[in-house]
Structure 1
């Protein structure tokens, strides 16, 4: 069986996914969504941009014929070319078990497995190898800006296979990241043992008859093609991972106390959890109340909620603010504001839209002009992004502090106030989950923040205005959903405190 770096990467993110990739039914996979396709396109474009700086050779072989690919890569290495792009190296268990040079670190015995290494680049370096007075080190191009553990483990995988092939172990490897100083050297002496341990664990998982347990981690799982299958299993099991606040670390800790269901967690005294890793005297009681809310199906006041003086309830005029952004362009292209005038009994939505990236400064000024028309109105938003973005835009366009700070002082984060005060019987505290629990629906059923990123890219490429209209409609509904959540929250707290 072949084990490649992609499987090892996915195993570090989710122990279940690579097992399903190998043993699962292909027909049960989800269709890739637009955001995933866009991420793949962006990664390809990023790599093309990096490769434009290199004069490289690429082995010639029919795709999928890894033996011929390995032979073609060896031929390039023997010639001593400077850079090899997408070279393929194969090492079977016998070769790994019997290193041919004392410079190669001892490797575990992988009976029945072949390791397939396909680094982005093999880079020629001075040294001694089976090929002559040169050797190669691996380099990978990654979209991240930080040298994540999973990146370093994967490049260590490439380095170990390469060490066996060229009969000398590279002392370092390189990550090419999306930062100014993009060349990051990886300490193989540190990461190779960790890689070997992870590889051993992965092989044990592959040899099991059943896939690893389901664990729904929303951010990581949302783009996975097995998400629907895993989520259905988690729902049928009423799995604890569906409870907000249950992280993988906390789940493991709960299991040590045989707390494996929402009911058992709801009936646990918080003091039993406070000393566990990942818990404290604030997390523990909140998580127990969260379980009680899920079990009872009703909202509950959290222990130590925000003081009433810290909560902005209502005002004669209220503004609801939401932003749509294109992260790859570092662009905030839509600033949407819903103005609710309770005195005049009117509502009006303002959509400040940058049809081209260079119009961001224009819509920033339009936004400031609008909010200054209502100098006492609270500006409600959901999560910290809007607050942070206004600070960034003010700095970018050198807006006087006197024009910005009074605006920021009026910002009210509905998410922060709600999550510090109330537990809801829901699986996520995302705006969509809360608003839909309250009966609110977005007019475009397929719309999402991720889809808007894709739609804006398509707008720039095609000029199709219906894409902009879809984004504006979604943005307005986000503002209205924020209002729905805020109004419910205020009414719920007032009723709770009165009683």
Structure 2
């Protein structure tokens, strides 16, 4: 049985993904999204850029024929060539498991090995900007297999990161951690033990098994679909045999309060979140007392003005460019609304789009600016530092910003799988015109526009961003009505 570096990398992020990659029915795999294909293309381009100026011997072998690749690589290492790309390293592990390591680059260094007075050091080329732990674990895996092949340990293993350059991985620290992960992965594969479904959107959304696993989870109404149920908390819920919505909704809060990672606030929220989901109704956040709600409404107030602005940003992190500021101007007095797309058609136009945004905000100096999540505030601060105006002007502008995500999560518990804009707005009945559109797709569309000049990609971005702004407006109107209703109920009770 082959245990490849790619399989081990998947195991770090999701045990179930690694299992399905080995034993799953490929008919249930999702086709890669446009954004994922873009990431793969970007990764290949980054790899070519790193390797283009070096004299490199490429190991030549039929695709996925690991034995042939290992034989070719070993011959090159015995010859003592300076650099080897597409190399394959094999070693026997345990119980018939063979480890397969394919570092992007093997570089010759002085040292003692089975080959003579030289040895090799592995380098992994990664598109990421940070030396994330899973990258470092893989670098340690390459060094581990390489040590078995060349009969000697190298001092370090290297990551070549985008924009950061080379990063030395501390093998003393990482190899023991890698060995624990490797052993667990091999145990799962040998036993053919299928891990339980657990949906974590931050890890699952780009996985090719997502639709398959999500279908199983929704069919079982799995607790991982409930906001706040993290993998670590789920372990404790299972130990208490709380594995269904009904069971969690009926659990006394005090039984959860003392569990590690819970506490009173989390326990209250999880039980009531289960009740909201089970009954498909919005509930007042139990952590917010009646007095606190009245004080929140009195002192902070969710503003309703004659003119309101709804703001959403599109950006490409890889290029570090904000390419669109979308603003929906809602004029309640005139009874109409207008969408403004302040677009940087090229990255060089980023300053122009920013200046247009500042002019639009100045045109409505008293209008509150609604957005969803902190990203807009963070980006406005960053672009203000980059392009002006003065920081005090930007900070004054930011006093008009209202984060609706903050308001929703403080005030309400909703029957949704996450408190992202799409989940909430869709629960309210709002639909995006492009059903599959999302932030990642927008990044792909912008890259395609820059590459092809086809304005259809720009139109898709503008349509998606406008829908985001209108969805934010939808959430705000619902939230005002919800708060008003709850305040009236409290005041009526107090009146009695």
- TM class by shorter chain equals over 0.9
Q: Secondary structure of 2:129's partner?
A: coil
Match of 1:429 in 2: 419
Q: Which moved more, 1:63-72 or 1:83-92?
A: 63-72
Match of 1:96 in 2: none
Match of 1:326 in 2: 316
Q: Is the 8 A contact 2:125 2:160 kept in 1?
A: yes
2:120 corresponds to 1:141: no
Match of 2:492 in 1: none
Q: Distance in 1 between matches of 2:171 and 2:222?
A: 38
2:359 corresponds to 1:376: no
Cα RMSD, aligned residues only: 1.4
Taking structure 2 as the reference length, the TM-score comes to: 0.94
Match of 1:246 in 2: 229
Structure 2: where are the runs of 5+ without partners?
Answer: 490-496
Match of 1:28 in 2: 28
Q: Is the 8 A contact 1:311 1:417 kept in 2?
A: no
Q: Distance in 2 between matches of 1:495 and 1:240?
A: 30
Q: Is the 8 A contact 1:29 1:225 kept in 2?
A: yes
Q: Which moved more, 1:230-239 or 1:184-193?
A: 184-193
Q: Distance in 1 between matches of 2:385 and 2:347?
A: 17
2:154 corresponds to 1:164: no
Taking structure 1 as the reference length, the TM-score comes to: 0.94
2:195 corresponds to 1:177: no
Q: Which moved more, 1:432-441 or 1:43-52?
A: 43-52
2:435 corresponds to 1:452: no
Match of 2:105 in 1: 121
2:116 pairs, out of 127, 132, 138, with 132
Match of 1:337 in 2: 327
Q: Secondary structure of 2:111's partner?
A: strand
Match of 2:253 in 1: 270
1:152 pairs, out of 132, 136, 140, with 136
Deviation per CA, 1:32-76: give whole Å up to 9, x if none: 110110111111111112213432211122222222211211121
Deviation per CA, 1:378-397: give whole Å up to 9, x if none: 00001111111111110111
Deviation per CA, 1:67-96: give whole Å up to 9, x if none: 221121112111212221121111124xxx
Deviation per CA, 1:278-320: give whole Å up to 9, x if none: 2233222112211111111100011233622224231111000
Q: Distance in 1 between matches of 2:83 and 2:355?
A: 49
Q: Which has the higher helix share?
A: 2
Q: Which moved more, 1:437-446 or 1:406-415?
A: 437-446
Q: Is the 8 A contact 2:324 2:343 kept in 1?
A: yes
- Cα shift at 1:401: 2.5
Q: Is the 8 A contact 1:352 1:367 kept in 2?
A: yes
Q: Distance in 2 between matches of 1:346 and 1:402?
A: 32
Q: Distance in 2 between matches of 1:346 and 1:67?
A: 68
Structure 1: where are the runs of 5+ without partners?
Answer: 94-109
Match of 1:65 in 2: 65
Match of 1:14 in 2: 14
Q: Distance in 2 between matches of 1:333 and 1:79?
A: 51
Structure 2 counterparts to residues 16-415 of structure 1, below 5 A:
16-93=16-93, 110-180=94-164, 182-305=165-288, 307-308=296-297, 309-415=299-405
Q: Secondary structure of 1:396's partner?
A: helix
Q: Distance in 2 between matches of 1:146 and 1:460?
A: 26
Q: Distance in 2 between matches of 1:424 and 1:139?
A: 47
Q: Distance in 1 between matches of 2:111 and 2:229?
A: 50
Q: Is the 8 A contact 1:322 1:475 kept in 2?
A: yes
Would the alpha carbon gap of residues 369 and 236 (structure 1) be closer, same or farther in structure 2, given more than 3 Å must change?
same
Q: Distance in 2 between matches of 1:437 and 1:405?
A: 34
Q: Which moved more, 1:377-386 or 1:265-274?
A: 265-274
- Cα shift at 1:179: 4.4
Deviation per CA, 1:461-483: give whole Å up to 9, x if none: 11111111111111111101000
- Cα shift at 1:416: 0.9
Q: Distance in 1 between matches of 2:480 and 2:182?
A: 52
Q: Distance in 2 between matches of 1:402 and 1:2?
A: 60
Deviation per CA, 1:98-128: give whole Å up to 9, x if none: xxxxxxxxxxxx1111111111111211110
Q: Distance in 1 between matches of 2:136 and 2:452?
A: 39
- Cα shift at 1:252: 1.3
Q: Secondary structure of 2:121's partner?
A: strand
Q: Distance in 2 between matches of 1:335 and 1:304?
A: 35
Q: Which moved more, 1:465-474 or 1:278-287?
A: 278-287
Q: Secondary structure of 1:128's partner?
A: strand
